[in-house]
Structure 1
Amino acid sequence: MIEEHADVIVLGGGGSGLAAASEAAKAGAKVILLEKNAKLGGSTAWAVGSVSATGTSHQRRVGITDDTPDAHFEDLGKFAGEMECFDNLALRRILVDNAPAMFDWLQSNGLVFMGPALELPHRHPRMHNVVPGSRAYPYHLGRLCRRLGVDIRTSTRAVAFCMENRRVAGVETIDPDGETRYFRARRAVVLTSGDFSGGHDLKRRYVSEIVSRTDPVNVTATGDGHDMALAIGATVLNGNLAHGPLMRFIPPTSPSWITRVPPYTIVARLATFAMRHLPQAVIRPILMSFVTTALSPDPGLFGAGAVLVNARGERFTNELDKPAAALVTQPEGRGYIVLDGTLAKRFTAWPNFISTAPNVAHAYLADYRRNRRDVYHEANSLPAMAKQLGMDASMLVTALTAGDRAGRRPTPPFVVLGPVKSYVVMTEGGLKVDDRHAVIGEDGNPIAGLFAAGSAGQGGLLLYGHGHHLGWAFVSGLRAGRHAAEYPAATSS
């Protein structure tokens, strides 16, 4: 077995891992970062990209001078609502108190943001959206890590922690050539492996059977780190909480041009200038390239009377009663949203929209017709629509005229949006950690030599509302990396 050494080993190259690795290296530690995928980014690169913080330069620029971490702390509790009793208030305090400095740190390393935008129940606008997109995080933070001397190894999968004298001494991995390689940590290991939205067994164990059968947004978020930590006595808090099943339009077969915009600082600054100063007639088509990509259809569609059918054209559920969960059990897990001509006319202007990115823009039928011809379908009759989509014509007609729709006379032209699928966006269950981000074992004591950050180290913290998951990834990553670098070195065996 090949063996290598470092002061700190970081497992995972998403936002929390890059923050942890850079901070440990800044503190003088020799750091090796291991990422199982071929590229850095993890779930951070899949995110909308927003970060919520108080006391930022963006807030001051628009005249918000009285926002505080204390107010942020209170408002986070409002997001949780009845679930607040399950929240980790100590970690919430860490998040809000450190978010302002974290945001400054991101900007100092080349990240550019628009905002702030208001999302209720925040009392002030706090949501800052990264420009041009979330891929900017691994790009800039990866560059930071390399400047600081972090040894980044991609396509290297961790499989188990190695224990010596009841301390995590290192990690066993499989390298790109399929060889077993052991990385020994003189000080500590930081686990930043993300959530388990793609881990079927963990979802079945902690959430439900239907969630275990639901595809994740990030297929590589398989909960490897959770499994490794559970094997040495760690515990998971709030494992039953998941964001999903949630219905979304399938992503385009070819990436939008907006995803290919380079995340360079100068490009981002030019984009923010354009967003602030160019006419909406110019900016809106650009925004639509994002808002129509792979977002959720608004529930208002079904409230207004749209019908959900499967790939055969069969209506299979009550659209107002958890349709996303019902969709998981359908053939190929795919569905289509059907509107007749009368209903379609309503979804051409505010307040009836098809999808939205919070505080960015709303997309209407015309936007989908223009930007997503792969999911927009139109026909003058239901049999013609069925032929176009390979459905059973009698099933499709029945879907719009039988049951609770008996007696209705649907009017042409008919519009179908889809396919849609249900996804698990993320899971909330994280390892139990203390206020230094050390992983806590079943006996209530820290597992020596092991820290966790981001979703892996969420520790019971509830992160509802946009911008809090990424905020926690960076705040906890920075802190865990610093504590790992300061952890007492192991004595030689």
Structure 2
Amino acid sequence: MGKCDMTKDFDIIIIGGGGAGLAAGIMARRAGASVMVLEADTKLGGATAHSAAVLYAAGTSTQREAGIANDTPDAMFHYVMTLAGWEANPQSMRIMCEQSGPALEWLRTLGVVFPPDYLVCSGVEEVPRGHPSIGLADALINTAGAEGVEVAYGTRVDKLLIENGRVVGVSADGTELRAGAVIITTGGFGNSPEMIREFFPTAAAHGDWTYAVHYAAPFILGDGIKLGQSIGAAIVGKDTGLLLPTSGLGKWIEAFLPPWIMLVNTNGFRFMDESAPYAVSGYLLNSQHERRAYAVFDEPTLEEASQDLRFADPYHSGAAMPTWEYSLLRASIANGKIFKAGTIAELAGKIGVDPLTLETTIGKYNADCDQNRDSQFFKEMPKRFPVRTGPFYAREVRASVIGQTGAGLNVNEKAQVLDQHGRLIPGLYAAGEVLGCTVGKRYSGGGMGICNAMVFGRLAGSAAAAESVGNG
């Protein structure tokens, strides 16, 4: 045991009180460390509290309860790395895959419920690994309080304190606090246009269409990345992350396109299964010419399908898709935000698509609908909706809503932050969306963000406490 440092205010200081920070705080307290969470907002929860609270995991008790007994972390790792074309950090991905199941079981001990009948394939995996939860954010907040994690609200850290090459604390509004270790869990940078331009240019290219799903969490501004940069931390994962599809009709979290639309690119061709999970749909949209497409539908589809709530909430999150709801669609048609035409050729002219191509595309689509199939992209639906009876409608669609930013700090297997040369920055840990080594080229499926927050949050809390308490 090292010499006791009597100048410490706390064993652990955690910058950011979202899911990763709370998980870290709970683990650190249970390891005997004194913990202070510095939260810029007036409440805890961060992006986690604004999410659908889905955890991506393999080999879980919830899967077994649902009759899935053969899923493994190895299978999850193979899927994640294959989807990313191996353009991802294997060490980070391996840790998340191996620790995803234990993280879920840990959350269950905190009172989080993972209904087995809610399990979904939230990416393009062969077995369902998306675990929608009930009460995740509240359980973390309540447990942190019960364990004695201290919290200072309205406290935005502006500097890391360094002594002899080691992080020894923080400065916030001129007040210095010292600790045996600091954990950065400030989330991503989805609410910072400046950082989006620098680190997520694909998102920035959409201009006014771009916003983040956690716009209601105002301090997700990239503070942790800036703090790391200020002391030489490596920034990895530039221009990676998750972009969700949106109609642009309102500032909502849509995530899923309604499967009853027919989607065409600016050349007039279909290019995807319209019901594809957001782990792939946004990437497909952004690979199209001009990075946009058009949702096309007809009058009977509008009347029937947009009022069918079966399509609205596949994750059981309680968050429907207001953009594609009947009354809003009618209002958007009336104010001209949705194009309306009496013929397909007229509609093609309004959206700038070759009319013969659009008519041919719709003809093939309708013929498939008549045979209850999709011979091009194999979309599965309980009922088909052809585009046949006017008036006809079209609305521009883009993938411009930031579900997760991918650029951020690099860490090792103990969640210790690395510098630009791959060396440890002593005393500094990080977890959650502030990391840049946990997404890779492709977002694997709904729940990977929560997986990162829980896995690396727990890891950072335990490792930092072992170091700080052992030296104090």
* Normalised-by-shorter TM-score class: 0.7 to 0.9
What's the CA shift string for 1:392-451, capped at 9, x where partnerless? Answer: 999999972525465889954566779999422221112111111110012321111100
CA distance in structure 1 between the partners assigned to 2:471 and 2:320 by the alignment: 60
| 1:247–1:39 CA distance, 2 compared to 1 (3 A) | same
SS at match of 2:176: strand
Single out whichever of 337-346 and 229-238 deviates more from structure 2: 337-346
2:235 pairs with 1:230: no
| 1:324–1:231 CA distance, 2 compared to 1 (3 A) | farther
| 1:248–1:435 CA distance, 2 compared to 1 (3 A) | farther
- Asked if 2 retains the 8 angstrom alpha-carbon contact of 1:401 and 1:410, the reply is no
Query: What is the aligned partner in structure 2 of residue 151 from structure 1?
Result: 150
CA distance in structure 2 between the partners assigned to 1:368 and 1:349 by the alignment: 7
CA distance in structure 1 between the partners assigned to 2:159 and 2:430 by the alignment: 15
Instruction: Select the residue among 413, 432, 441 that pairs with 2:419.
Output: 441
| 1:171–1:117 CA distance, 2 compared to 1 (3 A) | same
Structure 1 residue 457, shift from structure 2 partner: 2.7
CA distance in structure 2 between the partners assigned to 1:362 and 1:199 by the alignment: 25
CA RMSD of aligned residues (A): 4.2
Query: What is the aligned partner in structure 2 of residue 341 from structure 1?
Result: 299
SS at match of 2:263: helix
CA distance in structure 2 between the partners assigned to 1:470 and 1:364 by the alignment: 21
User: What amino acid sits opposite 1:126 in the alignment?
Assistant: R
User: What amino acid sits opposite 1:228 in the alignment?
Assistant: L
SS at match of 1:442: coil
Query: What is the aligned partner in structure 1 of residue 257 from structure 2?
Result: 297
What's the CA shift string for 1:430-481, capped at 9, x where partnerless? Answer: 2111111110012321111100011113425535212222111101101101
Query: What is the aligned partner in structure 2 of residue 188 from structure 1?
Result: 181
Query: What is the aligned partner in structure 1 of residue 102 from structure 2?
Result: 101
Long gaps (5+) in structure 2: 1-6, 269-283, 360-386
- Mapping 1:381-392, distance limit 5 Å: 385=333, 388-389=334-335
Query: What is the aligned partner in structure 1 of residue 92 from structure 2?
Result: 91
- Asked if 2 retains the 8 angstrom alpha-carbon contact of 1:243 and 1:424, the reply is yes
Structure 1 residue 241, shift from structure 2 partner: 0.8
Long gaps (5+) in structure 1: 175-179, 254-292, 309-319, 329-334, 380-384
Instruction: Select the residue among 205, 208, 213 that pairs with 1:210.
Output: 205
2:472 pairs with 1:482: no
User: What amino acid sits opposite 1:217 in the alignment?
Assistant: V
Q: TM-score, normalised by structure 2?
A: 0.74
User: What amino acid sits opposite 1:114 in the alignment?
Assistant: P
- Mapping 1:237-256, distance limit 5 Å: 237-244=236-243, 246-248=245-247
- Asked if 2 retains the 8 angstrom alpha-carbon contact of 1:109 and 1:144, the reply is yes
Query: What is the aligned partner in structure 2 of residue 18 from structure 1?
Result: 22
Single out whichever of 199-208 and 239-248 deviates more from structure 2: 239-248
Q: Which has the higher contact order (CA 8 A, sep 6+)?
A: 2
| 1:325–1:16 CA distance, 2 compared to 1 (3 A) | farther
| 1:138–1:248 CA distance, 2 compared to 1 (3 A) | farther
Query: What is the aligned partner in structure 2 of residue 450 from structure 1?
Result: 428
User: What amino acid sits opposite 1:47 in the alignment?
Assistant: S
SS at match of 1:487: helix
User: What amino acid sits opposite 2:104 in the alignment?
Assistant: F
User: What amino acid sits opposite 1:39 in the alignment?
Assistant: K
Aligned residues: 409
| 1:425–1:252 CA distance, 2 compared to 1 (3 A) | closer
User: What amino acid sits opposite 1:452 in the alignment?
Assistant: A
Query: What is the aligned partner in structure 1 of residue 31 from structure 2?
Result: 27
Structure 1 residue 169, shift from structure 2 partner: 1.4
User: What amino acid sits opposite 1:341 in the alignment?
Assistant: E
SS at match of 2:417: strand
SS at match of 1:33: strand
SS at match of 2:100: helix
- Mapping 1:305-384, distance limit 5 Å: 322=286, 339-341=297-299, 344=302, 347=305, 357=314, 368-369=325-326, 373=327, 375-377=328-330
Structure 1 residue 363, shift from structure 2 partner: 8.5
User: What amino acid sits opposite 1:232 in the alignment?
Assistant: I
What's the CA shift string for 1:362-407, capped at 9, x where partnerless? Answer: 98999822xxx3x22079xxxxx5xx31679999999725254658
- Asked if 2 retains the 8 angstrom alpha-carbon contact of 1:306 and 1:337, the reply is no
| 1:432–1:392 CA distance, 2 compared to 1 (3 A) | closer
User: What amino acid sits opposite 2:205 in the alignment?
Assistant: I
CA distance in structure 2 between the partners assigned to 1:73 and 1:394 by the alignment: 46
Q: Name the % identity.
A: 27
| 1:211–1:451 CA distance, 2 compared to 1 (3 A) | farther
| 1:43–1:307 CA distance, 2 compared to 1 (3 A) | farther
Structure 1 residue 22, shift from structure 2 partner: 0.7
CA distance in structure 2 between the partners assigned to 1:113 and 1:158 by the alignment: 35
Structure 1 residue 76, shift from structure 2 partner: 1.8
| 1:65–1:172 CA distance, 2 compared to 1 (3 A) | same
| 1:56–1:367 CA distance, 2 compared to 1 (3 A) | same
What's the CA shift string for 1:194-246, capped at 9, x where partnerless? Answer: 11222222222223241676222223321111011111100111122132263
Query: What is the aligned partner in structure 2 of residue 126 from structure 1?
Result: 129
SS at match of 1:112: coil
What's the CA shift string for 1:108-164, capped at 9, x where partnerless? Answer: 101111233334543333221112xxxx32311111111111101122111111212
- Asked if 2 retains the 8 angstrom alpha-carbon contact of 1:377 and 1:416, the reply is no
Instruction: Select the residue among 329, 340, 347 that pairs with 1:400.
Output: 347
SS at match of 1:7: strand
